[in-house]
Structure 1
Amino acid sequence: MDGLGIHVLANEWQSWFAGARVDKVHQPSARELVLTLRTGGKNERILLSAHRQMARAHVLRHIRPNNPQDPPMFCMLLRRRIEGGRIISVWQPGWERILGLEIEAQNDFGDLVKYHLILEVMGKHSNLVFCQADEAGNPSKIVDSIVHVTPDMSRVRPVLPGHLYTAPPPQDKLSIEDLKSQMLVDSLANAQTRKQVERNVMSQLQGSGPETVREALFRARDGQVAETGVKAPAVTDAWTITAEEAPRFAEQLLLALRQIYDEAVNRKEPATVAEDQLGQTIAAAPFRMLSQTRVVNMDSYDEALEKLYQSALTMSQFSAEQRNITRSVTESLDKLRGKLVKLENERLESLDSETPRIYGEVLMAFAYQVEKGASSVTLPNFYDDDNPLEIHLNPALSATQNATHYFKTASKKKRAIPLIAEEIAQTTEDINYLESVLALLEQTEPSGYGAIRTELERQGFLNRKRDARNQGRQSRAKAKAHDDIGKPEEYLSVDGFRIRVGRNNLQNDRLTLKWSQQDDIWLHVKDAPGSHVVIQTERRTIPEATLHQAALLAAYFSKLRTSVNVPVDYTETRHVWKPNGARPGHVLYDHQKTLYATPDKSLIDAIARP
């Protein structure tokens, strides 16, 4: 949220909430406040957040935050002071990143008192300050703040109850009306990178932020404003504009900035959000973003902000979920690899079961020559032409007892060989399984993390999440939870054949073994973790183009995504089976053929979706 955005938001809120009654106050987290307003015969919830990374303000249309059982002191103070009061105005000082609510409420004596609830959007220094108003109606004494700033933290501007409220120190910037093109020349000519240009312009212009300046540079470059004969460099990190070209381009950039401010302030164009290729919201602006490829018009800038930050919070939560799953899987992999090394050492040691047997045989044959209490003895080895053989002994045991001990050791090692081999095979299979999970995690969209967690819980690699409130329902929901694995992704080949791709190992099993027909074509990258891919044949012959597209999908959704000429095996699903006790996703197959594909996202995007 830059100053321009807050200016537009303040105007929207002024038209919506002037005169609204403050019905309830909640504080769902340490730096966030939710006000429930009664206006126009309905309730509206507004969020005021002083979050360190995502400070923001917008209406909550789709989410109802949880309310803590024990409200913080700041929340209790606001409930006592402003519940039942009315919003008089919504204001912003100049183009600053400050949004204020002027509220009038009755005190304990029934007198009307004015307060200001001020949100300061300043990154990690963001704050929400509650002040009394002086006789002129301006913010005066601080009643409390959501973040206390002591003199040790800031000598310039402490924020504590009882102190007078002072606005953040003004920055040496010009308004859009006072900014001249000549002032922009140095910002353009002396910059080495595009980001440096953006920072230089923002340091000069009040209310500007990255999205505003980026849009202005784009419009100036593409001639979306009056032509001056100079184009900005392409959208890259490098910035190559000469000192001679800078004055002319500065004029065009100033025109673009004024056009954007005029459109936003006077609502000549709708607010918009920009989306990435996956449909996730990545930016919001109070103007039309011509610089973005995918843009969606919104009814208001407030709604655009809600969509942006809801998407950012969702991605943040999913990123944390991915990190947690990845960390757990990696820790399990480290333990299994350590176990495999230990098992391999035990296997090598168990292979030598003949040596202790020979020790026992020799001791039994020459027991009469062994002195009592000896710690070692050298005897002729009749298995090696009577060459001397040194045998270590337990002094507390007799020769016969030492021989018996060696016989038991030999028998134990011999019995351990198949058991250790079986344990090595199981450990190796678990390692391969978890490596396949990691490969799928790297390629899975956020909506698929829950299915992967369910899979790992069922396999015993993650502890099942428990909620005390729902423990009584777990038995009833168990079957449903186990089926929460999502659906495979579907594609449509150039020849009209449906191609399905499993995105987790449980999906892979069901896709291959339950949801496919015997004559469908099954594909998988050779000797590497990856998704199962199935072409639905419907008893038709598969053309080469369809087979190649399916192989491309199998190569792309695999651990070998960044490789070239990836080998992909394919066969009919009748030739694919699952060994008893195998982990999800692990199958065996025969009658296969191999073709090669080089993964390319542009080719994947070109495949139609039904």
Structure 2
Amino acid sequence: MAPSPPIQAMDVTSLRAVLVEMRRGLLPSRFEKAQQPDAHRLQLGLRSLQGTLWLELSWLAEAPRLLAIDPPLRQGDGSTLAQQLQHGLRGLALVSLEQQGWERVVALGFAPRPGEPIARQLVLEVMGRHSNLFLLDEDGRVITLARQVRQDRSRLRPIGTGDAYVPPPPMAGEPPRLQEDFASWQRRLSLLPQTVGQALLGAYQGVGPALARQLADAWLLLPVDSLQAEQWQQLWQRWRLWLETMEQERFALGWGGPSDYRCWDSGAAATVPTPWAINRGLAGYYDDRLGRRELEQRRASLRQRLQTAAARERRNADQQQALLAAVPGSEAMQRRADGLLSVPAPSRDEIDEAQRLYRQARKLRRSVAAITPRLELHQQRLAAIDTSLTFLEQAENGAQLTAVEEDLPALLPCRDSQGPGPSRRLRRGPAGSAPSPLELRSSGGLRLQVGRNHRQNEWISLQQARRGDLWFHAQECPGSHVVLKGSEGTPSDEDLREAADLAAHFSRGRANGRVPVVMVPTGDLQRIAGAGPGTVRHRGGTVLWAVPDRAADLLAEPPRLPGTEQP
């Protein structure tokens, strides 16, 4: 899996664009509910004439934002911050949404009724790692805040509960103005020998990295003094278009180009705006990017735990192998003991030494019976962990990572499985639930089941298998079990090929052009006694040569089986 891409920060342009939509559809609205789903987000439920709408305010350093969102799940309404807002905003209505100048600071004003004085303000500072959220009283004092800013964190602006709210320090640079002429604008950008991007960022307020890329595009890294007259004119025209969009509030959401998204575009702005289009679009963007980042963090954590467990099993296997390698030495000990006792008159010390050697030789010979199964157990665990690492690297969503987590109690010692409570839950899954393998339809209409963890592998290969079902697995390679439900119809050659391709695709050999895949009737599978779930042996079998890339066609639009949900 590719690493999660960087997240484009919300700048002044996108902040103004979402506020325009909010003012049209949200003012005034009555406060109803506050909840805090995690440490960096607050969600507010507000009732307007159009119904209940939800805002999300986030001070996460990588993606601070203010957006209208779809109704969220109920979670985090018992947090201290949510309870303080619930108490402080009870009975009030949101009557204003203000952003001053070119600062990324928004003040949500709450009053008993529209037209009455502001009784509470909720101030969100969308400023990267300095982002924060403040609830202020009518005198501008901090009632509560998301993060206490102590003296050791900020010498310029320490602020905490009970302090008077102080806005952030003024931004460097000049405020952009439509009234400024071309000569003044060009002169300001050319003051220092730097790149076009650096000049835009340093000369004017409200220009962030994303806007600089959108304005300068291919010239971003060129020295300012290298721009030709025609390039200066094109940059000037883009600058003017951006300023006109900001002044006339003709915002529209566009995707791609030099940045992930943009909220000013001449072609898009000319269309009739769809209500909440920018808010909903950006909410989806941040959900997607943050979701990918969370997946990568979970994947990295699981990978570390599995690799640590694999290293432990290798050490244990090496120890057992060393003990097994010492067993042939028992014969030499036996011969030495025989030699000591074969002398005409052995001394007492020689007799004691001979008895010690006999005991040690017998112990080594007896240890074979104990060492061999231990060694096999460590090797089986290593193979299972290796397969879990394959499942992990190929997981594409949270449900598939959760499937890998379900196997941990059977693979890791208790101290690594988060205690007995979570271990039992992961082993059994939700109460009364069956495993949920990936299920597809072959070209011939037969069901194809793909296990995405050891529990699912065992379920489809042993517990749910029926006479006529066929089992597929990449030969001598960690990966998923695939079962073609031949019990539901006669498989065609194309059905067999598709099943083999799936087994190759969901194996460690995915990157190879061709992969040998073993096909066995499920009736010929046997569970290995004492081994972990999903560990089977089989008799015979047919080897098919599969092409992993061909499975992409089958996976592109997986048909849903009636009455089931696709994982």
Report the TM-score, using the length of structure 1 for normalisation.
0.71
| Whole-Å separation in 1 of the counterparts to 2:461 and 2:509 | 21
Pick one of 126, 131, 134 that aligns with 1:126. 131
Residues 27 and 75, structure 1, Cα contact 8 Å, conserved in 2 = no
Match for residue 587 of structure 1? 536
- Letter of the 1:454 partner, please give it: E
Q: How does 1:261-280 map to 2 (within 5 A)?
A: 271=253
SS where residue 330 of structure 1 aligns?
helix
SS where residue 361 of structure 1 aligns?
helix
- 1:436 Cα deviation (Å)? 0.6
Residues 196 and 216, structure 2, Cα contact 8 Å, conserved in 1 = no
Question: Which sits farther off after the overlay, 337-346 or 209-218?
Answer: 209-218
Pick one of 77, 80, 91 that aligns with 1:67. 77
1:350 paired to 2:327 = yes
| Whole-Å separation in 1 of the counterparts to 2:434 and 2:179 | 59
Q: Which runs of 5+ in 1 are unaligned?
A: 135-139, 219-231, 275-281, 292-296, 378-398
Pick one of 290, 311, 319 that aligns with 1:334. 311
SS where residue 493 of structure 2 aligns?
coil
Post-superposition CA distance 1:422-469 (Å, at most 9, x none): 21112111101111101110001222122222233355656666899x
- 1:14 Cα deviation (Å)? 2.6
Match for residue 168 of structure 1? 169
- Letter of the 1:49 partner, please give it: S
Identity %: 22
Residues 410 and 532, structure 2, Cα contact 8 Å, conserved in 1 = no
Match for residue 437 of structure 2? 487
| Whole-Å separation in 2 of the counterparts to 1:356 and 1:170 | 84
Post-superposition CA distance 1:47-89 (Å, at most 9, x none): 33222223222345223331346x26x964x666554334331
Post-superposition CA distance 1:79-124 (Å, at most 9, x none): 6655433433111112321111123469xxxx96644332111111
Q: How does 1:147-546 map to 2 (within 5 A)?
A: 147-150=147-150, 152-160=152-160, 161-163=162-164, 165-172=166-173, 175=176, 177=178, 201=200, 207-209=206-208, 247-248=229-230, 251-252=233-234, 255=237, 271=253, 286=263, 299-366=276-343, 368-370=345-347, 372=348, 374=349, 377=350, 399=351, 401-445=352-396, 446-458=398-410, 461=413, 480-481=430-431, 483-490=433-440, 492-493=442-443, 499-515=448-464, 518-536=467-485, 538-543=489-494
SS where residue 350 of structure 1 aligns?
coil
Q: 1:258 to 1:298 in 2, by over 3 A?
A: farther
Aligned length: 532
SS where residue 582 of structure 1 aligns?
coil
Residues 522 and 535, structure 1, Cα contact 8 Å, conserved in 2 = yes
- 1:252 Cα deviation (Å)? 4.7
| Whole-Å separation in 1 of the counterparts to 2:223 and 2:506 | 42
| Whole-Å separation in 2 of the counterparts to 1:536 and 1:287 | 53
Residues 263 and 269, structure 1, Cα contact 8 Å, conserved in 2 = yes
| Whole-Å separation in 2 of the counterparts to 1:267 and 1:65 | 35
- 1:550 Cα deviation (Å)? 4.4
1:7 paired to 2:16 = yes
| Whole-Å separation in 1 of the counterparts to 2:165 and 2:27 | 26
Q: Which runs of 5+ in 2 are unaligned?
A: 1-9, 269-273, 560-567
- 1:142 Cα deviation (Å)? 5.6
Match for residue 393 of structure 1? none
| Whole-Å separation in 1 of the counterparts to 2:410 and 2:514 | 35
Residues 517 and 543, structure 2, Cα contact 8 Å, conserved in 1 = yes
| Whole-Å separation in 1 of the counterparts to 2:244 and 2:475 | 59
- Letter of the 1:146 partner, please give it: A
Q: How does 1:590-601 map to 2 (within 5 A)?
A: 590-596=539-545, 599-600=548-549
- 1:350 Cα deviation (Å)? 1.9
Match for residue 279 of structure 1? none
Residues 193 and 224, structure 2, Cα contact 8 Å, conserved in 1 = no
Residues 488 and 511, structure 1, Cα contact 8 Å, conserved in 2 = no
Residues 33 and 48, structure 1, Cα contact 8 Å, conserved in 2 = yes
SS where residue 48 of structure 1 aligns?
strand
Post-superposition CA distance 1:355-385 (Å, at most 9, x none): 3323443444448431x4x4xx5xxxxxxxx
Q: Between Structure 1 and Structure 2, whose CA radius of gyration is higher?
A: 1
SS where residue 530 of structure 2 aligns?
coil
| Whole-Å separation in 2 of the counterparts to 1:178 and 1:432 | 71
| Whole-Å separation in 1 of the counterparts to 2:481 and 2:526 | 13
SS where residue 353 of structure 1 aligns?
helix
- 1:486 Cα deviation (Å)? 1.9
Q: 1:164 to 1:356 in 2, by over 3 A?
A: closer
1:560 paired to 2:565 = no
Q: 1:542 to 1:331 in 2, by over 3 A?
A: same
- Letter of the 1:356 partner, please give it: M
SS where residue 103 of structure 1 aligns?
strand
- Letter of the 2:72 partner, please give it: H
Q: 1:590 to 1:191 in 2, by over 3 A?
A: farther
| Whole-Å separation in 1 of the counterparts to 2:298 and 2:150 | 36
| Whole-Å separation in 1 of the counterparts to 2:440 and 2:514 | 24
Question: Which sits farther off after the overlay, 112-121 or 253-262?
Answer: 253-262
Question: Which sits farther off after the overlay, 595-604 or 302-311?
Answer: 595-604
| Whole-Å separation in 1 of the counterparts to 2:260 and 2:125 | 21
- 1:197 Cα deviation (Å)? 6.7
| Whole-Å separation in 2 of the counterparts to 1:439 and 1:461 | 20
Q: 1:154 to 1:66 in 2, by over 3 A?
A: closer
| Whole-Å separation in 2 of the counterparts to 1:62 and 1:353 | 70
- Letter of the 2:134 partner, please give it: V
Pick one of 84, 97, 100 that aligns with 2:104. 97
Pick one of 42, 45, 63 that aligns with 1:54. 63
| Whole-Å separation in 2 of the counterparts to 1:321 and 1:465 | 15
- 1:191 Cα deviation (Å)? 12
Residues 505 and 551, structure 2, Cα contact 8 Å, conserved in 1 = no
| Whole-Å separation in 1 of the counterparts to 2:225 and 2:510 | 45
Residues 285 and 304, structure 1, Cα contact 8 Å, conserved in 2 = no
SS where residue 369 of structure 1 aligns?
coil
Q: 1:554 to 1:33 in 2, by over 3 A?
A: closer
Q: 1:606 to 1:123 in 2, by over 3 A?
A: same
